[in-house]
Structure 1
Amino acid sequence: MACRGRAPPRRSGQEGSQELRPAAVNATLAGVGALVLWAFLALFSRLAAGIPPLQLTAMSFCVAGVLGLAMLAARGRLAALRQPGLVWGHGVGGLFGYHALYFAALAYAPAVEANLLNYLWPLLIVLLSAPILGLRLGPRRLAGAALGFLGCLALLGGGARFPAEAWFGLLCALGCALVWALYSVTAKRLAAVPTEVVAGFCAASAVLAAVAHLAFEPTVVPDARQLLAAGALGLGPVGAAFFLWDIGMKRGDPRLLGTLAYAVPVASTLLLILSGQGALSLQVAAALALVTGGGWLAATARA
């Protein structure tokens, strides 16, 4: 009788573990969805070429922010936006800072080279996890970092062929990689913040970008192609992707998502080349292989 009395709790525990597993899988798939959307970030940005970087940032975040806040209001969840200043500084600084630098990089530097430098952020996440999160960097991760650095050298080794303004764009690409890596790593310390707050981050980023645009840039009236590209950015890579990434990083498998992130520069660069926005030279191919390979090596190292 005693044995039969203990059986139900054992079955209950098994059922609980089975219920958690599909939730984690779904959250990880949400993170994969963000990676897929980010593969189109460079292509949509290039299709919006001609719009000043801060104006494009404001336009795309306006789409994401308005839709996100409308969904929050419909669900009666606007109270979720009441967060400490640190949370807002982290979210708005990461989203606005990254995309302002990214759009500037694509505006002033060759698209393929700027895009590849931007996708050093997965590798920087690995490196910054040591000083910020106290995680150990073993030989495999250090080897991956070395390969990524060699990829940068391979990409910029022929830098004399770049016009003077391209170097500003390339520095912006490196800057946005650093900003996104810092945003992602430090987000681990804000895991209790609900995903809905991302809508507020997008809206605040739109306002900040609009003010900066009016102060520093001329306004360009977009044509139909540019308007559609900005809308596509706001719906996908600069909108839904942030919500999906937040879900994936907080409730999914970050190890798997970190590994899969190194497929994004490959997909993104190939989309640029197939759409006629760049050419696959030997130099670009070598840099692509080194950056992607180094990132994969670092991400798949033992914990």
Structure 2
Amino acid sequence: MPQKKATLIGFIAILLWSAIVGLIKSVSEGFGPVGGAALIYTCSAVLLLCTIGFPKIRRFPVSYLILGSVLFVCYELCLSLSLGFTHSGRQAIEVGMVNYLWPSMTILLSVIINRQRTSPFIIPGIILAIAGIGFVLGGDQGFSVAEMANNVMDNPLSYGLAFSGAIIWAVYCVVTKIIAKGNNGITLFFILTALTLWVKFFSSPQPEFVISWHAGISLLLAAIAMGFGYAAWNVGILHGNVTVLAAASYFIPIVSAVLAAFMLNSHLTLSFWQGTAMVSLGSLLCWWSTRSVVAKKLSNEVT
């Protein structure tokens, strides 16, 4: 496959993933937080079976099969339920933004665990991303500790799940790169996530499904965004320009906020957009801190 075409497919994956926040919230409004998430991952698993197929589990290292499954399922539960349990569209967008701390956390963990070389720019990058979340949660007040506390205490479950998910996904990205040995268990992981959500759904009281055209269309789009998003990203990473795709992926928070605001009909303040830009730029700066060291090392080797 030509590199340009594969890179374009990778960009489509970024666009699909950016729509996840608004779509998951829309689905939860019709099918409930747990039921909606279970339906999304079930449909996505079917799409992945049709596009990627079921992996050959026997080839998986035991550590990847067990640890990879646990980390992935835990993250997806945190992501879907944190959005599903939000009280409003605006809160769902804020919670989604907390989850987008994972890129900077991933790079930080990679530096700590893998001893990846980095420049001092990683420090302002982390600070900028965290400060950005402060602006996002501060509402109309901008960076306000009191307003941040009020927002979090209004729904500690959703914000707590989102922050936990950011940490879990960072660990998943760093650990699985070491233990996967080139294997891709994404289809299996989606199936396990769906099964876990259905167990939760049938083992505890859940709200009745409110079936509507809006909920049905949102479910279909969410499944496509999840399933085809991973499939498209796989093509982009294998055959496209990885550097370009990696840099573009750090702008997902901005695109996600735009799409979610449109889908959930939410008004977002100037301070929110400032915070969103800070989260993206902070993550990008963290990424650049590792790239700049690699580029400098290669330059020294050439000279």
User: What TM-score do the two structures reach when normalised by structure 1?
Assistant: 0.80
Q: Which residue of 2 aligns with 1:103?
A: 80
Once residues 274 and 9 of structure 2 are traced to their aligned partners in structure 1, the CA distance between those partners, rounded to angstroms, is 31
- Within-5 A mapping of 1:289-300: 289-300=277-288
Once residues 164 and 18 of structure 2 are traced to their aligned partners in structure 1, the CA distance between those partners, rounded to angstroms, is 19
User: What TM-score do the two structures reach when normalised by structure 2?
Assistant: 0.80
Task: Describe the shift of the 1:279–1:300 C-alpha distance in structure 2 as closer, same or farther (beyond 3 A).
Answer: same
Deviation at 1:105, TM superposition (A): 2.0
- Within-5 A mapping of 1:48-63: 48-50=27-29, 51-63=31-43
The percentage of counterpart residues that share the same residue type is 22
2:40/2:222 contact within 8 Å kept: yes
After superposing the two structures, state which structure 1 stretch, 114-123 or 30-39, moved more: 30-39
Aligned residues: 276
Q: Which residue of 1 aligns with 2:56?
A: 80
Q: Residue 262 of structure 1: which of 209, 234, 250 is its match?
A: 250
Deviation at 1:251, TM superposition (A): 5.7
1:92/1:202 contact within 8 Å kept: no
Bigger radius of gyration among the two: 1
Is 1:33 the counterpart of 2:12 in the alignment? Answer: yes
- Within-5 A mapping of 1:181-196: 181-190=170-179, 192-195=181-184
Is 1:132 the counterpart of 2:113 in the alignment? Answer: yes
Q: Which residue of 2 aligns with 1:202?
A: 190
Could you tell me which runs of 5 or more consecutive residues in structure 1 were left unpaired when the two chains were aligned. Answer: 1-21
AA paired with 2:244? Answer: L
Task: Describe the shift of the 1:148–1:218 C-alpha distance in structure 2 as closer, same or farther (beyond 3 A).
Answer: same
AA paired with 2:57? Answer: L
Q: Which residue of 2 aligns with 1:68?
A: 48
Task: Describe the shift of the 1:147–1:244 C-alpha distance in structure 2 as closer, same or farther (beyond 3 A).
Answer: same
AA paired with 2:32? Answer: P
1:52/1:217 contact within 8 Å kept: no
2:54/2:187 contact within 8 Å kept: no
Is 1:155 the counterpart of 2:125 in the alignment? Answer: no
Task: Describe the shift of the 1:299–1:183 C-alpha distance in structure 2 as closer, same or farther (beyond 3 A).
Answer: same
For the residue of structure 1 that corresponds to 2:268, the secondary structure is coil
1:101/1:175 contact within 8 Å kept: yes
2:82/2:95 contact within 8 Å kept: yes
2:22/2:260 contact within 8 Å kept: yes
AA paired with 1:259? Answer: A
